[in-house]
Chain A
């Protein structure tokens, strides 16, 4: 019977990829000693992805070996990697080494290849192995059975040596024998949507743990591969339980707070809709002026540049500029249409988490929509985003531009807008007697009563000023008002 210390059984420890989004999709990373196929069309980024994972691995103390089965020049590949930020020449060859097994495989087949890999893993105590060009090994196998045995034997080596392995292949959709054997399968795809291309990563198999199913966008830049898990998949279940919030958050405009019954409910979502020039951004800035050290604010904007916003912030009352200057309110400006919807979502939530933001103004909901290659995702995307913000206790105001500047009809450019926002504020223009008037009204407030009247407002030097009577609106709508005298005296009524 046993009289020696038992050899420890391997635990399903994780090996991180160093790519945050990918590790999130994999619920923490790859399984130590697992074997994974990375499949994708040429140019999809398999070589970059696997090299990036290797360099991260050696950076945290592992040893990686990149084996090419193709008649490929390593110098050229390394030359191409050199421009990427993760590449670290100092790691080569002691921690990260490159090896061609083309000749061994050509001369001795899979048996010689298997022996070479075993020897190299043991000799250098390799903890991560990439075999690039699996299709060559498959082609040199005498039969499907021989190839399966090769993969199986390699899996045994992976387990016994705690060496996590990646096999790259260009194979198509056909399920090949090795796919049924390995611990996981990552598929990289480039798709065209009209003139736009989107790269997506899909984990179609992952043994040993849960993972985020479905397609997730990724980008390749000088920093290598960045993966953005689908917001609606990542936050299908919000990160924590919701706390009951009963208070109200001021919109920063006294008269508007009164119309809302004391402000908007804390941790709710409010949509401010209106045509261009109606003052949506200004209203959002008023809302942010209520930020404090205990309630940090964030403006996540797309269209108005930081310079223009700074000018507005200077004039706004209550003052916003000091809050921007002392960091109570952060301004994150995004260039519209140049990024992925999930990238925006990820950046937004990162900023919220980082500063424990409680007041959030998203200026330009339609920018998310423009970045959505698949419009059918919009509803679920915003639901997941709103749910996550809600459980984080964030009171959110979105601005949404409506296309019609004038006229009785208000077309909302997103489907099911009502489900995206718990509170809705409508800003509109009305044309009477050769001039435009601005009107504001509340369409709904979550679980509470509100003032449904229409009010006139102006955008003055210090921001929003709302009349405290509906009389002028009735005059405007009936076309009977002589406005000249009243407009001159407006500040007396302002909110």
Chain B
């Protein structure tokens, strides 16, 4: 069973992703900032990370950078979410797998998670 790490300081979005991904049969761990997420990831390597960009304590860019620097986590695909356009985010962050603009459509997100997990297993 794939482990998905959801990182968002907005409980509504994190809770929604948790519910929907659990319903899809994934194991879901939720963190509310990059620091918490990194701790989880180092304790148990996730198969996929879905993270917000702007968060307190440690933002999405710092999380992506820290994962890339860790050989154990460097190959984990990361979905980066933001309400900012990708051009703005890309100036501040590199190394993520896919960008998703908020507000996103939940059923499209399910498809994206599924396809990324399938691709990473090949």
Contacts and interface: CB of A to CB of B under 8 A. Distances in A.
B19 interface: yes
Interface in A143-172: 149, 152-157, 159-162
Most buried by A among B16, B98, B104: B16
Contacts of B99: 2, 6
Contacts of B108: 7-8
A3 interface: yes
B90 interface: yes
Interface string A1-45: 111111111100000000000000000000001000000000000
Interface stretch (A111-119, A247-255, A369-377, A378-386): A111-119
Nearest to B24: A122
B105 A10 contact: yes
Contacts of B62: none
Given A118-B16, A157-B12, A160-B13, A7 B90 contact: no
A118 B97 CA distance: 28
Interface of A: 1-10, 33, 114-115, 118-119, 122-123, 125, 149, 152-157, 159-162
Interface residues of B, number: 28
B97 A3 contact: yes
B20 interface: yes
Contact of A156 (B12, B98, B101, B107): B12
Interface in B8-46: 10-13, 15-16, 19-20, 23
Contacts of B101: 6-7, 9
Nearest to B115: A4
Interface string B109-122: 10010011000000
Contacts of A33: 103
B12 A153 contact: yes
B contact face: mostly helix, strand, loop, or mixed: helix
Contacts of B53: none
A173 to B, nearest CB: 29
Given A2-B98, A7-B101, A157-B12, A115 B116 contact: no
Given A7-B104, A9-B104, A160-B103, 14 more contacts: A1-B90, A4-B112, A7-B100, A7-B112, A8-B105, A9-B101, A9-B103, A122-B16, A122-B23, A122-B106, A125-B107, A156-B103, A160-B104, A160-B106
B30 to A, nearest CB: 13
A3 B23 CA distance: 26
B105 to A, nearest CB: 6
B11 A7 contact: no
B59 interface: no
Most B Cβ at <10 Å: residue of A8, A118, A160: A160
A125 B19 CA distance: 13
B19 A160 contact: no
Contacts of A4: 97-98, 112, 115-116
Chain A interface helix/strand/loop/mixed = helix
B105 A162 contact: yes
A115 B12 contact: no
Contacts of A152: 10, 12
Contacts of A1: 90, 94, 96
B19 A122 contact: yes
Contacts of B106: 122, 160-161
Contacts of B11: 149, 153
A162 B106 CA distance: 9
B105 A160 contact: yes
A152 B14 CA distance: 13
- Shortest beta-carbon contacts, A-B, top 7: A153-B12, A156-B12, A159-B103, A160-B106, A7-B108, A4-B98, A7-B100
A119 B20 CA distance: 8
Nearest to A163: B106
Nearest to A118: B19
6 contacts: A1-B90, A4-B112, A118-B15, A160-B13, A160-B104, A161-B105
Nearest to B81: A7
A153 B13 CA distance: 7
A159 B23 CA distance: 19
B13 A114 contact: no
B15 A114 contact: yes
A153 B90 contact: no
Given A122-B19, A160-B106, A3 B98 contact: yes
B56 to A, nearest CB: 15
A152 B103 CA distance: 13
Contact of A154 (B12, B103, B104, B107): B12
A172 to B, nearest CB: 28
A115 B19 contact: yes
B112 A115 contact: no
A115 B98 contact: no
Contacts of A6: 86, 98-101
A161 B20 CA distance: 11
B100 A119 contact: no
Contacts of A162: 105
